[in-house]
Amino acid sequence: MIKVTVPATSANLSVGFDCIGLAVDMQSKFTFEHNSNADLTISGCPSEFQNEDNLVYQGFKAVCNAIDQPVPKLSIQIHTNVPVSRGLGSSAACIVGGLVGANQWFDLPLNDQELLEIATKMEGHPDNVAPAIFGGLCMAFVDSNQQVQVVKYPVNKALQFVAIIPNFKISTAAARSVLPSQMSYPDVTHQVSHSLLMTHAVETGNLSQLKEAMNDRMHEPYRAKLIHHFDQIKAICNQFNSVLYISGSGSTMMAVTDQPTIKAQLVAQIKAAFPEWQVVPIMVDNHGAKSEVL
């Protein structure tokens, strides 16, 4: 039996729209076994996903195709706490789970970069699959040769994250539809310079610099309006001198502080205000997807 663990991922980080993602230690677990009864059995997910269209299976199959091997009869078990359509990379986790599972199944014929290339084609963009594979904070894009370029930034241990997961979804399509199509030149320079400061502040763990850097003009001012109570969450974060960004296209928001005591206070206060929401103190996953043969 093969067991795969894949971190959830939080994309954009304010000023890294569509090219930056962070791996966090909210894990999805997948097991893959020979199936003697049927071509495919999938458990651990809603019944509408228990078929060949399942992304974990699609990922597995993509590796089989890439290395020219027949797809084995499979029993796949999925165990995940990553909520769907909340901006925590649930689809990326499934794709990467399938890819890494198949790669382990066939004794690691592909390296991480090759897995990333396949994952990016399947997901359509690399900003969640890159940190899901490599861990940490990753900048990734498809270059002019159709290769995926990745820069991995080490995340300073001083930074403490809290995932604030509302009890409602935001569809990526809706989150895209509220965005303008153009930006002014000064705003582009703003985005470029602030993304450079953001990646630097994440490395150094300088919270006040991170706060200054996470000042987005590209998506957050528009998407914040789609997230009910965003302003209230923002006010709580400001009160504790912590930084808030929208994870992916929402609805999850991520708070960042550098004080464990403040982290605990943030969790308590937001939980009290929104008892229906999940408020999860969370660590960075610096390792990325892991696989083992049991």
CB of 210 to a second copy, least distance (A): 11
Task: For residue 93, say whether it is annotated as part of any ligand binding site.
Answer: yes
Binding site for a second copy (CB under 8 A): 15-20, 139-141, 143-145, 149, 151, 179-185, 188-197, 199-200, 209, 212-213, 215, 218
Task: For residue 264, say whether it is annotated as part of any ligand binding site.
Answer: no
Task: For residue 224, say whether it is annotated as part of any ligand binding site.
Answer: no
Task: For residue 71, say whether it is annotated as part of any ligand binding site.
Answer: no
The two structure tokens encoding residue 138: 């990753």
Minimum CB distance to a second copy smaller for 51 or for 193: 193
Task: For residue 44, say whether it is annotated as part of any ligand binding site.
Answer: no
- Measured over the CA atoms of residue 132, residue 134, residue 135 and residue 138, the dihedral's sign is negative
CA neighbours closer than 13 Å in the CB half-sphere of residue 151: 10
Residue pair 130/19 in contact (Cβ under 8 Å)? The answer is: no
- DSSP of 221-286, one letter per residue? HHHGGGSTTHHHHHHHHHHTT-EEEE-TTSS-EEEEES-HHHHHHHHHHHHHH-TTSEEEEE-B-S
CB of 24 to a second copy, least distance (A): 20
Residue pair 38/53 in contact (Cβ under 8 Å)? The answer is: no
Collapsing DSSP states into helix, strand and coil, what is residue 152? strand
CB of 143 to a second copy, least distance (A): 5
Minimum CB distance to a second copy smaller for 189 or for 238: 189
Minimum CB distance to a second copy smaller for 79 or for 225: 225
Minimum CB distance to a second copy smaller for 63 or for 130: 130
CB of 286 to a second copy, least distance (A): 18
Binding residues: 83-93
Binding residues for ATP: 83-93
